[in-house]
Chains A and B, each alone.
Chain A
């Protein structure tokens, strides 16, 4: 059974760097074809795909956010880390990590508020 859990700060100040961690179980991110993505959802708004990392370490980013995002993995800890630089109040959202190409498994989400 695949499980994922997001963790990170609840509050971040504008211009700071946000670091989020996804800890997963039930699969290995060293296997080709395995992939973890990050998706966010501002309050009351739609889902937005952010980034993906594959088992072969290929990485993909949202076109609009690629200059601010970095995704990486630590296979020894079964973790995927997303960093977002220069955050702004519009980045306030619930951030989810997910598994696969279409998303059967999601974390519970972590709400990040960007405010001074």
Chain B
């Protein structure tokens, strides 16, 4: 099975900061990677698909990059609504895997 490893697990940041979250796959997944944002008590919300495609309705301050085994999610200027937990997910395999999550908290 493919393992997805996110770093950091927790990130402390301030409004306006540029935030970068990394996701590494244990084997190549081409660009078959998605990013989600989850807030407490809610289902995850799709942000990015196919590594760098912004989902409709998602603010342009979110961007994704990478291919193969290393990927990043960047928030160009952190907004109050962005404090949440972020997950990467590979959909290359028949048994898709999620990363363990990155919590973005107030510094």
A residues near B (Cβ < 8 Å) are: 37, 39, 46-49, 52, 60-63, 96, 101-104, 106-109
Nearest Cβ distance between residue B100 and chain A, in whole angstroms? 5
Chain B interface category by residue count? 20 to 34
The one of A37, A61, A106 in contact with B44, judged by C-beta atoms closer than 8 angstroms, is A106
- CB pair A102 B34 closer than 8 Å: yes
Contact with A along B37-68 (1 / 0, CB 8 A): 01000011010011000010000000000000
Nearest Cβ distance between residue B53 and chain A, in whole angstroms? 10
Interface of B is mostly: loop
B residues near A (Cβ < 8 Å) are: 1, 32, 34, 36, 38, 43-44, 46, 49-50, 55, 87, 89, 91, 94-101
Chain B residues with CB below 8 A from A46, complex form: 87, 98-101
Chain A residues with CB below 8 A from B91, complex form: 101-102
Nearest Cβ distance between residue B43 and chain A, in whole angstroms? 4
The one of B89, B95, B99 in contact with A63, judged by C-beta atoms closer than 8 angstroms, is B95
**Inter-chain contact total with CB atoms closer than 8 Å:** 47
10 contacts between A and B (CB under 8 A): A46-B99, A46-B100, A62-B95, A101-B32, A102-B91, A103-B34, A103-B44, A104-B55, A106-B44, A109-B43
- CB pair B44 A49 closer than 8 Å: no
A101 to B36, CA, bound (A): 13
A103 to B100, CA, bound (A): 17
Given contacts A102-B34, A104-B46, contact A60 B94 (CB under 8 A): yes
Chain A residues with CB below 8 A from B55, complex form: 104
- CB pair B46 A47 closer than 8 Å: no
A108 to B43, CA, bound (A): 6
A103 to B47, CA, bound (A): 10
**Shortest Cβ distance from A47 into B: residue:** B98
- CB pair A103 B46 closer than 8 Å: yes
**Shortest Cβ distance from B35 into A: residue:** A102
